[in-house]
Amino acid sequence: MALIYASSALAATVDLTQKVYALTANISFRVAYGLDYRGTNFDRDRFHEVVHDTEAVLGSISADEYIPYLGWIVDWLTGHRAKMERVFHELDTFFQHAIDNHLQPGRKKDQDDMIDVLLKIEKEQTEVGASQFTRDNIKAILMV
């Protein structure tokens, strides 16, 4: 808000799209992951890039879907497979960072967020002896 005020005093332009995106991302991060996304490795522009790359990969057509036994070759030659693996590795790294942050002893929290609830479910199942709910399941739920 102070940046918008300062920019208006100087008659400078402000990219409201970027400001609204940053606000939305910060609110989403706090509710879902319990952390401020500006303090992560996915700082502003990087997070925006990862979100767009993820949308591009999820929305693109994979030859492997249409030609089950040979499509992977086309995906490999076009670079689609490499891009898909890179994007999902970045998402996996982020989700692992968020989970590790929640597992730190002495972590301050006002209330439980989505990761806290999912970690409690994982812990309860482990105590009962049914370890069907894993960290990979948590990451998959967070991706949705």
Rounded CA gap, 87 and 95, in Å?
A: 12
Q: What's residue 49's pLDDT?
A: 80
Nearest in space to 29 (alpha carbons), one of 105, 98, 102: 98
Q: What's residue 85's pLDDT?
A: 93
| pTM, rounded to two decimals | 0.69
Instruction: List, for residues 64-95, the tens digit of each pLDDT value.
Output: 888 888 898 999 999 999 999 999 998 888 88
Q: What's residue 109's pLDDT?
A: 76
Q: What's residue 45's pLDDT?
A: 63
- What is each CA distance from 30 to 34, 38, 48, in whole angstroms? 4, 11, 16
Task: Tell which wins on pLDDT, 110 or 131.
Answer: 110
Instruction: List, for residues 13-69, the tens digit of each pLDDT value.
Output: 777 787 787 777 778 777 777 666 665 555 656 777 887 888 888 888 889 888 888
